[in-house]
Structure formats: C-alpha cells, structure tokens
Chains A and B, each alone.
Chain A
C-alpha cells in the first residue's frame, strides 16, 4: 500500500507524455466491455497483421520527422513497390526461375523504394526544397507511375513463399509482428547508440550547429529519407502478400496520414530532434485499434477517417503544449 502511494506520488500525470498510454488503456477497456469477441486470438492476429504495415512506415516516418522533415510519399512508394513485385515474378523470367524470381521480386521493389528515398533526400538537402513539397512530388507521381506500370490492372498472385511475408507465422504469431519487432530493435539501436543516430538528432535539434560541428548534414538527411522509403517499400510488399493481390490505386492509400499520426501520437516532435521508435509502434497500435473498434462496432469507414483526423489534431495539440 505504502509502496503504491509512493509510486503514485512520483507519477504525475502529464497528458503529453502519458496520454498515448492512457489512450491505449481506455481503448482496450472499451473494447473488452463493448466489442464482441475482442479477446479472440483471431482478433489479435488481424490487428497485428494490420498494425504491422502502419508501424513499419511510422518508424520510418519517425526517423524523417526527427530531422525536422516529413515524408508524404510513403503511401505512393508502397504502391510502387507493391506494383513491381508481382510484375517481376509474373514476368517470363520470374516464372522460369522461381527462386531467383522471388528474390528479385523482393529486392528490386525495395531498391526502387530506396531510389525514391534518395530522390526525396536530395531534393530536401541539396535543393533546399521544403520536405512537404519535395515529397509531394512522389506523393502524386509515385502512385501514377505504379498505375502506368500495371496499366491500372489488379494483379493477383499465388506464390506461397512470397505470401509468407503476409501470412506466415512464427511461434504462432504472425510473421509481420516479428518483423516489426526486429526492425524496431535495429532502429532503436541506430537512434540511441549509433553515430548516425546522434547525428540525426543533432541535425533535427539544430541544423546549423550540427553543420558547424562537422556533421555531414546532407548525407544524414538523405539517410533518413532513404530509411523511410525503404521501410515503405517493405510495407508495400507486405500488403501485397497479405492480400495476394496488388492494386496500385489502393496500396498504401492515405498511409502517410496514418504514419504521421502514429509518429506524433508516439511522441515525435514535429520540429525534430527526437525519435521515439517504440513510441511510433505504440502510436500505430492506437491508430489501428481505433480503426478496428469503430469498424467492429458497425461505424462506417468514413467516420473512421474523421476520428483519425481528430486524433492527429489532438495529439499535435498536446505536443504543442509540452514544447512551451
């Protein structure tokens, strides 16, 4: 009892810092009481597999926002990589060499995504274009490119090895869940322990000071956009694997909003200088759960959009308060 009270006295509720956790608890409680079958493993799997793509992109977004930037092109890059994969293993080459074809179908789309990241990074760092505008270019033309490549057609695939990305299980839990964990650990190490991470946060915290201290600001920024784009590419592949189909018009549609929302809810400062990787995952879980809760309780998809908008505004508003 006395211990509990000391803990309580030390714990001062700060809506900006603990708001996300509190929100998570509230949503979980709400679901336990209201949503039918919430405690089923099926529910868990569905949510894990859906949250995985948001979380992966949100982590990349967190890295970019840490430099004080933003990446609106993540959804379009998902579409591009998602369109490329089936094109590759449905090509004559892919059909003739299933093994090589599979490898190419994973590597080439991610390479293409990385190239988009380089483009974004170069625009932002060497051409001094504001990140919103620089990434707006791919936001619109990336998806267009994907549709040009596929001629706007839906591509269905049935390749069990590739589908493992979306439907595989390890220790009974979806493969993407483990993938998210692995990526999170790597990024966490990168941000908190590596030299790149220190440079990343320094660039976001005070770019001029970072440059004066000999930090290669341009390369660091490009690195951030490349990481974000690469993760988006991977997320695109996962979506295709889950659906066993690729529709360039829909893959990753509005993902930039989910990712930004998740990053912000997770505690990333929009002006840069912080990169809470696990916060991004927490944010993604909250976004996903809100979506799921509304859906499971018969609220229309469209209303969920409005709810998401409210979450973004609320999270950023609380964050502004913390800055002052």
Chain B
C-alpha cells in the first residue's frame, strides 16, 4: 500500500481533487509564449506581468476561501477601488501607514459582509452585491469621483518600483508571502479544515461541533482584507487611487478560482491551484497583447470583456463535466 502520509505530488497538483490541468495549461502557455515572442521570457515582461497580476492573485486567493465555504464575494472589485483611494489619501504618511490603513478598510468591508451573511443570514451573493454597491458609492463619495494621485515624494512609491534583492518588486514579495501564509492556513490549520468542511456540508459541520460561524466570518473578512491589499497594489501600479476601477474583478477572481479546480459549491479546492488559475488568465491577456503587438490580430480593449466571458464559459463547461465524472466515481 502507498504511504499516504508522504508528500504526494500528483494529489497536491490536483488541489485535493481534480484538475491538475491548470498547471499543464499554464506550462503549455508559457512554452508557447517563450517560443513565439522574443521578449516574452525577458525580465521586464515577467516582472511587469507579475506586478500587474499581483492584485488579481491576491483577490483570487481571498475569493477561493469564500467559495470553499460555498459562498461568493461579489464586492472585491469595488472594495479594492475604495481602498486604492484610501491608500492614495494616506500615501503622504508613508507606506507604513497607507498599506495597513487600506488593508484595514478592506477588512472593515469584509466584516460588513460577514455581518450580513453570518449574523443577518442574508444569502452571500445578495449581501456582497449590496456591499459592492456601498463600496462603489463610498469610493465615489470620498474621492469626489476623481482619481486621487499618490504622494510621489513618499516612500509609498517604493512598493511598485523598489526591487527586493534587485529583481522582484515589493508587490510580488508581499503577494508570495500572503499566498504562502494562506496556504498554511488552509492546509495546516484547523480553521482551514473547518472552511473546507463547511463547503462539504454546513449542517453536518455544525453538528460535528465545528465553529461554523467563526469560519464563515473569517472567509469574508479575509476576502475583504485581500481586496484591501489589492487596492494598495492598484494605487501603486497606477500612481493614483482609482474609484472607478474594479468593475468585473469579481468575475476574474471567480474565474481564477474555478480554473484552479475549486468546486463552485465548495468543499474542495486549493490555494496554489487558484494562483495558477489567476496566472493562466493573466497570461492569456499577456499573449493577446503580444499578438496585437505583432500585428497579426487587432483586438480593441472591448474584446477583453468578451474573451473573459468566453473563457469563463469554457472553464465552467469543463468543470461541470469534471464534477459529473467525479460524481460518477463517488457513487
């Protein structure tokens, strides 16, 4: 018999269930890009690609936790827009204030979602839809519907520009740290196990004496915090707080989570596969940009939305097949 306690790469890649396809697709796309475009594998493209996608990775991982409990968080985009404004306002006081301040604002929105869902028993998508509206309104109110420039003289600018050890920008380092921490929480802490158990069966989890309330509150607050951090990255990337940004981000995040093989109904999924999903989605657009650059195709920005929808469609169909196959195996 196999020793099941040993590290099982295949299982790990499958994210505890299925769909290690996301890694294969990611590798295939990278190989394709490297072979086809001259600058694709260059340090500049890699660094700017990661820098740009850091915020999507962060919100996707937060979303992953919410979806694992069988919930959904539609407010991440507007919350990030809101906190980007907060970060811009706080930037004169330096990174050490702006970063925690914006994350705190995100956590507060997350707490609001948690309150709606857990204490008021409102269905997650309605609750987070309302928060999406509220955060959007809030962002417009505090910014006066204008982009708010960051303070270029403060150390806030370091976030996106200063490179740690001369290679990676801070955004990427922070993202890696956050992902690693959340991976540990999901795989190695009992809180993470409760999150997974809730998605597998909320009533059963409660009957087992698990603290369902706490875990559900945790995932929404976490997702809010991740959106808050994404807002900081947004402000740093664009050099300004962007109250109008964030439209459709929830879709990207959901798509990343789903591409990563997490069941939309919850109970099964992984942090690392979600990151792979986010990278895969980002890479599709990166490659489209290169194609546009070569002049072989010419797609307006509007096509991005259409393609994003199409991609989500393809992934959902794929997952519904996988889920059906898994179901057959279970019975």
Q: Is the CB of A312 within 8 A of B130?
A: yes
Q: Is the CB of A320 within 8 A of B122?
A: yes
A308 to B305, CA, bound (A): 27
B302 within 8 A of A: yes
Q: Is the CB of A300 within 8 A of B309?
A: no
Contact with A along B165-209 (1 / 0, CB 8 A): 000000000000000000000000000000000000000000000
Q: Is the CB of A133 within 8 A of B137?
A: no
Q: Per a CB cutoff under 8 Å, which of A70, A142, A306 touches B134?
A: A306
Size range of the chain B interface in the assembly: 35 or more
Closest-CB distance, A26 to chain B (whole angstroms):
21
Q: Is the CB of A144 within 8 A of B126?
A: no
Q: Per a CB cutoff under 8 Å, which of A128, A306, A313 touches B137?
A: A306
Assess A144 versus B309: contact at CB under 8 Å? Given A139-B251, A152-B300, A320-B120.
yes
A147 to B303, CA, bound (A): 8
Q: Is the CB of B305 within 8 A of A140?
A: yes
A264 to B67, CA, bound (A): 24
Residue of A136, A147, A312 with highest tally of chain B CB at under 10 A: A136
Closest-CB distance, B304 to chain A (whole angstroms):
7
Binds A, one of B154-162, B225-233, B313-321: B313-321
Assess A270 versus B137: contact at CB under 8 Å? Given A134-B316, A144-B304.
no
Binds A, one of B33-41, B138-146, B267-275: B138-146
Assess A309 versus B309: contact at CB under 8 Å? Given A148-B302, A300-B141.
no
The interface size of chain A toward B, counting residues with CB under 8 Å, comes to: 43
B21 within 8 A of A: no
A132 — which chain B residues lie within 8 A by C-beta?
72, 125
Closest-CB distance, B269 to chain A (whole angstroms):
15
Assess A147 versus B137: contact at CB under 8 Å? Given A132-B72, A136-B312, A140-B308.
no
Q: Per a CB cutoff under 8 Å, which of B137, B138, B145, B264 touches A130?
A: B264
B138 — which chain A residues lie within 8 A by C-beta?
302, 306
Assess A143 versus B254: contact at CB under 8 Å? Given A133-B264, A137-B313.
no
Nearest 8 CB-CB pairings of A with B = A141-B309, A144-B305, A305-B137, A302-B140, A147-B302, A309-B130, A309-B133, A306-B137
Given A264-B126, A302-B137, A317-B122, output 11 extra A-B contacts at Cβ < 8 Å: A127-B316, A129-B316, A130-B264, A137-B309, A140-B312, A151-B302, A302-B145, A304-B137, A306-B137, A306-B138, A310-B130
Write the residues of chain A forming the contact surface with B, with a CB cutoff of 8 angstroms. 70, 123, 127-130, 132-134, 136-145, 147-148, 151-152, 254, 257, 260, 264, 270, 300-306, 308-310, 312-313, 316-317, 320
